[in-house]
Structure 1
Amino acid sequence: MTTPIRVLLVDDQELIRLGFRLVLEAEDDVDVVGEAADGDEAIRAVAAHAPDVVLMDIRMPRTDGIAATRSIVAAHPATRVLVLTTFDLDEYALGALDAGASGFLLKDAQRSELTAAIRAVHRGDAVLAPSVTRRLVDRLRAAPPAAEEPAASATDPTAELTDRERDVFVAIAHGMNNAEIAHHLFLSESTVKTHVGRVLAKIGARDRVHAVILAHRHRLVDTSAPPAGEGHGRSTT
């Protein structure tokens, strides 16, 4: 029997936590292991319960979801954080993604969307629509290089990638999903999925969101040009 996905619920509103708990406890493969009402409680609860996935509210008293996400990801890299937000990718949600969250979910999401998002994050995918990825890309493009990372571009995290993997990495950095990458590089989606997994492993990225952030922080993407590879017509193998 498959081990249930261990989930921690974090929200300052008890009724919202109760609603999520009722939905998730009806799923055979999900186990709600705890709750927290703010970021401080969440950090302690993750240390105590070692959840696989944290459903994290953003706007909470004391320590907010962004600070809590940053602490949890740093101390517990195996735990994935799925951000809960009321608005479609507001600045708070973007901040949480930058802090290490693996995606975001609207609080009014349907039951099927919630359970699918938890399963996706647990298996290592990022829960982020392509349009949202592109908005994140736009924000990263507009941001100046971080003052504390003056030599970031000196170390290329893509040095171990093959040419084909680098093409896939650049496509990810431009916000393409697997279907778009497959069409763009003339590959099958299953082949793209394999390449994406290898790319993330080689560059040390948690997921696609982290890969986008790495690409733009290290200035590895020419934002004035489309991804390389279009029209190459290479093999799918």
Structure 2
Amino acid sequence: MTDGSPTRILLVDDHDLFREGLRELLSIEDDLDVFAGANNGAAAVTLASAQRPDMVILDVNIPGDNAATTVRHILEVSPDTRVVILSLFDDPAVVRELLAAGAHAYLLKSVTREDLVSTLRSVAGDSGRMMLSISRRSFEQISRSNLRVLSDREVEIVALVAKALSNSQIARRLTITEGTVKRHLRNIFAKLGAVSRIDAVNKAIAANELSSRSD
């Protein structure tokens, strides 16, 4: 997404009219290309596997698996894809679940066109940046809540980083690709605000992520 070519976007929403409207809205931006659409989670995963989009814009309420599961499956088949949630739901628990699954941004459908485009460009340009456009009430509840920041898989990876394992060693231990390990580490850094592997481990311990959920 840094070679000057447009960001290739897969749009996932079960409302055909909304998909077409958003595709038309984004079509005037030279650096954003909505090249395909899907109306359910399974179709989204299949397209992501075949086309490896730069970005997926995903609605929460789609047929099939819940959105968090769909996000995880998309990132399993296309680790470098960046997922942006565009939803009607202003629910802090839903926001945290989607971010923990690996989403890079969570926006409400009430967002302005300018803010949407700005967010898409920010996420496309920086894989470690997490973008939120939710109500102040939801943000405050997320900030105060005891909901876990890291997914179980991310906790596994931080625990192995703490043992000084390299990315390739972690990949072999967990039977996943090295690219998937790198994608998880980018998400971990973003969620914890970490700047290095050691910093991520220290912040995970400080947040009680490792001590309560790893051996």
TM bucket by the smaller chain?
0.5 to 0.7
Give the C-alpha shift of residue 10 in structure 1: 0.3
Task: Specify the alignment match of 1:174 in structure 2.
Answer: none
Distance 1:52 1:135 in 2: 31
Instruction: Show the counterpart of 1:206.
Output: 187
Deviations 1:155-188 (A, max 9, x none): 56598xxxxxxxxxxxxxxxxxxxxxxxxxxxxx
Task: Kindly report the root-mean-square deviation, in angstroms, between the aligned alpha carbons of the 2 structures.
Answer: 3.9
5+ residue gaps, structure 1, are: 160-200, 223-237
Cα distance in structure 1, aligned partners of 2:153 and 2:33 = 40
- 5+ residue gaps, structure 2: 165-181, 195-199, 209-215
- For residue 107 of structure 1, the aligned residue among 93, 106, 109 is 109
Q: Give CA deviations for 1:176-221 in whole Å, capped at 9, x if unaligned.
A: xxxxxxxxxxxxxxxxxxxxxxxxx8x9323764335967993324
Q: 2: distance between equivalents of 1:90 and 1:75?
A: 27
Report the 3-state secondary structure (helix = DSSP H, G, I; strand = E; otherwise coil) of the residue aligned with 2:75: helix
Show the counterpart of 1:187: none
Deviations 1:10-42 (A, max 9, x none): 001111111110111111111111001011010
What's the % identity of the aligned pairs?
28
Counterpart of 2:60 (choices 54, 58, 79) is 58
Shift of 1:120: 1.0
- TM-score scaled by structure 2? 0.68
Q: Which has the larger radius of gyration?
A: 1
Partner SS state of residue 219, structure 1: helix
| TM-score, reference length from structure 1 | 0.62
1:126 maps to what in 2? 130
Q: Deviations over 1:35-55 (max 9, x none)?
A: 010110100111122111100
User: Partner of 2:178 in structure 1?
Assistant: none
Give the distance between the partners of 1:20 and 1:145, measured in 2 at CA.
31
Alignment correspondent of 1:12: 14
Higher normalized helix content (fraction of residues): 2
Q: After the TM superposition, which residues 1-237 of structure 1 pair with which residues of structure 2 at under 5 Å, given as runs?
A: 2-123=4-125, 124=127, 125-128=129-132, 135-139=141-145, 141-143=146-148, 204-206=185-187, 209-211=190-192, 218-221=204-207
Contact 2:107–2:133, Cα closer than 8 Å, also in 1: no
Retained in 2: the 8 A contact 1:66–1:96?
Answer: yes
1:116-142 Cα offsets, whole Å, 9 max, x none, are: 111111112211269666644433x35
Deviation for aligned residue 1:63: 2.0
Segment drifting more, 8-17 vs 87-96: 87-96
Mapped partners of 2:189, 2:155: distance in 1: 24
Confirm or deny: 8 A CA contact 1:10 1:57 kept in the other structure: yes
Aligned length: 181
**Residue matched to 2:177:** none
